[in-house]
Chain A
C-alpha cells in the first residue's frame, strides 16, 4: 500500500483557486486503482455510486445514521457517506462488490441467504460489510456482542433475528 503522506503534497499544493475545480483523486477499490477527477466535496459514497457506478454501497440517510453505506477502509468498517473521497486516497477500500472471492460468496453472504437475513435487500450490503470487518480475525462473539456492535446498521424490514442467526453461524465458518 502506498504511503499517503509521501504520495501527496500538502498545504496549498495542487489545488486550483476555484474550489469547484476538480482534483485528481485515485481511489483503490477492491484491489483496483481508479483515477478520478473529483471536487473536494464529493463523498466517498457518491464517488462510488455516481462516478464509478459501484452501486452496491447504499445511500440510506447520507448522514451516518443508518449504516447502509458501510465499506471497509483499511480493513475497518467505515461510513462512505461521512468520508470525503479525497481523504480516502491511498487507502484500501473494499465494497460489497469485493466481498465475495470470485464466485465464492463470503461465509456471511452465504449465511445471510440461508437464514433469510434480508428482505428488501437495501441495507444488506451495509450489514454484510459491517459484520465482515468486525468479525475478521476475531474470536467468535456472543449474541449480545453482535446485537451491540451491529446496532448502527438499521434494517427497517427488521430481519434482525435472522441477521443475528446468520452472523452467529458464519463466524464459526
Chain B
C-alpha cells in the first residue's frame, strides 16, 4: 500500500524549524555547562616546543587548559570502520587523535583547549595562550610535493578502484583520428554548512562505569559512538550520541572525529559538561574540504563522434595525516561507451588540512572535467553536444559489462532540451546577445551511483492508535524525518498524522551514516520491515483473541488499512489497532526490523542519471557571469516526496553553481594559512545568485534496488551543473575556461589573451 509515499507532504519538522524550536547540537542546556575554546596552530609544519598557558590559566573563570602534555590519552583510531578504510592511502579520514603529540601538520590544527565558565572568557583566554614551535618549511604545492601516492582504491572498496586501464587507452589515443587533451583545474571548496561544528560532552558515572554523552553535529551517530568508545576504551554502549537536527552537512560532519573527541577530553579534564562551538574560521581547517584538483582528460574519437579512448588522470591533495583521494573518474568510468578506458588518481601529501567527502565527491569536479571535455570535442567535431552524448550512449556499464538497473537518460536529455529551449540555441559561440550581455546555453550529463546498506528500525503501535517509528538515522535537511514518516505510515497502514518518526540518537536501532545518497534506499526498507513485524505481532494478538472479529483467521488473510486489521476478503470484518491492544491490556506493541542489500548489486549496475541545461549571460567588459536559468531532469527512481526531493536537487544544483562561479578557498603559498576563512571572503551563492530553476523527475521506480524503487537524490544535483554552466559560458563568449571558479578575473584574463 502506497498512500503516503509520493505525496507532497509538508516537512514533519517544519513547524519546529520555523519557530526556532528545533534543537541543534550546541543548544542543549546542561547544568554546570562549561565552554571550550580551541587554540590552533600558527604554523603549517613543525613541532610544538612549548605551550605557555600561564596567562590563560590566571584569567578569571578559566577551569583548565588542555594541551598534548596534559590531555588524557586516547587510543589510536582503528584502521577501518565497518568496511570503510579510515587510515592510509585512499582512506577516509585524518588518522590522528587530537592533543596526543606535539607534531604540527597544518596551520589551524588544534593544539590546546581552554575551558572556562563562560563562552567569552574561554575565547579570550584562548588568545592568551602562547605557543612556540620548531618550525620547518611546509610543503604546499600539489604538483611538486615530494610525497605522492597512487592509492589502489577509494576507502578500501574493491568496487571503487582508482587506477584502472581497460583495453589500451594509450594506443587507442595515438591511433584516434580526432584527439583532444585538456587540463582542468578546480579550487579547494568548503562545505560551509550554516551551522558550524559543535559538541557538548558530558561524562557521568553510571553503575560505577564511565558513561559519555555527546551532543554532536554529526551525520554519523554510530561512527562517533564507535570512535569515541574506542578512543576512551569504553564499551560502545557507554557512549550515547544525540543529534536530532543537523544544520547542514554536505559531506562534512561525518568522518572527521577530532571535534567531538576534543570536547570529550575537555569535559573529562574539568569534570563538567563542556561545549565546544567551532568558529567559522575553524570550519576552513577542521571540518574537511574538497581538495583542489588538476585533471587531464584525453579523448580519442572518430570524425563522426564515436569515442574510441578516454584517459582521465587526476591529481588531488591530502594532508600529511590523511590519504583521502578525490575520486574524479567516477563518471568517466561508466558514462559513455568507450572501448579503451583508463584512469589514474594521484594524491599529493601537503601541509594543508585534511580533506573529506564533499557533496558528489569526485563526481562534482571529475564530472565537470569530463563533461567540459565532451563539449570541447563536440565543438571540434561541429556536433551538437547532446547528439555527441547520444552517439556514445552506454547501454550497459562499460567498465563491468553489467546491465543498468534502470536508465532513462535519453528521456532526460529530451525533456531538458525542451525545458531550456535548446532549439533556440545558435550553435555558433558568441552569436547570441541580450543587450550588453553575451548569452550562452550549455548542457551536461549528470549521474550519481545508487546503492543501499544495512540498517535497522523499530516500530511501536500504541493503544491510542498512534505509532512511533525510530531509527538512528539523521535529519540533515534531507527530509529524513518526513519521508520515513511517510514510509512508516504506509508500512503500518496508518494515516501520516498518526505516525511519528524519530531519529538522531545512537540509542535507537542502528543505521549507517547519512551520505552517499543512499539513505532512502537503506533506511526505508528497514522501516518497512519494522512496520511489518509490528503488524505481525498485532495480527498474532488478534487471531488468538477469542473476542476479536479476526479470531482464528489465517494471518495472510488479514490486511492493515487505515489503522484497522481486517479480512482482505471481507473488509468490514476487523477492528482498529487500539482495540486489539486495549483488550490485551498492552500499552503498545513494538518490533524491530532490519534490511540489507541482496545480490542485486552483483547483477545490475545502479546509477541515477540526469541532464542539466544552463543559460548564462556574460558581461564581457567586467567578466561578470550570471546564470539566468538552470533546468535539470533527473532519473532517480521513485520519489518519496516531490517537494522535499525537489528541494534537495535545487540545493545541489545551487551548490554546483557556487563551485562553478564563486567558491574558492586559497591558502598562502608560503605559510599554508587559509587566506579565505570567513563567509565574506568565501562566497556561497545568495538569493541574488539564484537563477530561475526548473527541476523535473522522470519518476520511474527502480525495479531492482528494493521495494521502494528509490535511488538517491542528495548529490546528483551538484554534479553536472558545473559543466553545464561552464559550457554555457563558452557558448556565450567563445572562451574555454578550464579553471574553477569562473570569477571575473579569469574571464578578463582569457579575453585579454584572445
Contacts and interface: CB of A to CB of B under 8 A. Distances in A.
Given A122-B248, A156-B651, A160-B686, 12 more contacts: A49-B27, A55-B24, A56-B19, A56-B20, A61-B280, A62-B280, A100-B19, A119-B644, A119-B648, A159-B647, A161-B693, A162-B650
Given A151-B687, A153-B687, A160-B687, A122 B647 contact: no
A113 B11 CA distance: 7
A154 B120 contact: no
Nearest to A111: B18
B195 A20 contact: no
A155 interface: yes
B21 A118 contact: no
B678 A46 contact: no
A114 B11 contact: no
Contacts of B646: 116
B280 A39 contact: no
A158 B657 CA distance: 11
Nearest to A129: B20
Interface string B608-650: 0000000000000000000000000000000000011011101
Given A39-B118, A154-B194, A124 B18 contact: yes
Contacts of B13: 121
A31 B124 CA distance: 32
Contacts of B280: 60-63, 65-66
A118 B643 CA distance: 11
Interface residues of A, number: 59
B154 interface: no
A12 B329 CA distance: 67
Given A50-B119, A55-B27, A96-B20, A116 B678 contact: no
Contact of B192 (A49, A114, A156): A156
21 contacts: A20-B121, A41-B124, A42-B120, A53-B27, A53-B29, A63-B680, A65-B280, A68-B194, A112-B18, A113-B11, A119-B248, A120-B194, A120-B245, A121-B477, A123-B194, A128-B18, A156-B655, A157-B477, A158-B650, A160-B650, A161-B650
A119 B20 contact: no
Name the prevailing secondary structure of the A interface residues. Answer: loop
A58 B247 contact: yes
A160 B690 contact: yes
Contact of B248 (A59, A157, A163): A157
B476 A120 contact: yes
Given A58-B194, A116-B643, A160-B690, A105 B18 contact: yes
B398 interface: no
Contacts of B60: 20
Given A39-B118, A113-B14, A164 B23 contact: no
A154 to B, nearest CB: 6
Contacts of A97: 19-21
A160 B678 contact: no
B544 interface: no
B18 A113 contact: yes
Given A119-B477, A121-B13, A147-B687, A160 B21 contact: no
A77 interface: no
Interface of B: 10-11, 13-24, 26-27, 29, 60-61, 118-121, 124, 191-196, 245-250, 277, 279-280, 475-479, 643-644, 646-648, 650-651, 653-655, 678-680, 684-688, 690, 692-693
Contacts of B650: 158-162
A146 interface: yes
B249 to A, nearest CB: 8
Nearest to A122: B247
Contacts of A39: 118, 120
A105 B644 CA distance: 21
A60 B194 contact: yes
Given A58-B195, A159-B647, A160-B687, A121 B121 contact: no
Q: 9 closest pairs, A vs B, by CB? A: A56-B20, A122-B247, A120-B477, A121-B17, A119-B477, A158-B654, A96-B20, A65-B679, A55-B27
A95 interface: yes
Most buried by B among A65, A150, A153: A65
Interface in A37-93: 39, 41-42, 46, 49-50, 53-63, 65-66, 68
Contact of B15 (A53, A113, A116, A155): A113
Given A58-B194, A160-B687, A161-B693, A120 B248 contact: yes
Centre residue among A55, A66, A122 by max chain B CB count within 10 A: A122
Nearest to B27: A55
Nearest to B692: A161
B161 to A, nearest CB: 32
A164 B687 contact: yes
B680 A150 contact: no
Contact of B10 (A53, A116, A121): A116
Contacts of A58: 24, 194-195, 247
B644 A121 contact: no
A119 B477 CA distance: 4
A54 B218 CA distance: 22
B402 to A, nearest CB: 34
Find the residue from A42, A61, A159 having the highest chain B CB count within 10 A. Answer: A61
A38 to B, nearest CB: 9
Nearest to A120: B477
A109 B18 contact: yes
A158 B655 contact: yes
Contacts of A60: 194-196, 280, 679
Interface in A130-160: 146-148, 150-160
Contacts of A105: 15, 18-19
A161 B692 CA distance: 8
Contacts of B653: 158
Contacts of B16: 121
Given A46-B120, A65-B678, A147-B687, A59 B196 contact: yes
Contacts of A153: 687
Contacts of A118: 11, 14, 17-18, 477
Given A113-B15, A120-B477, A158 B685 contact: yes
Contacts of B678: 61, 63, 65
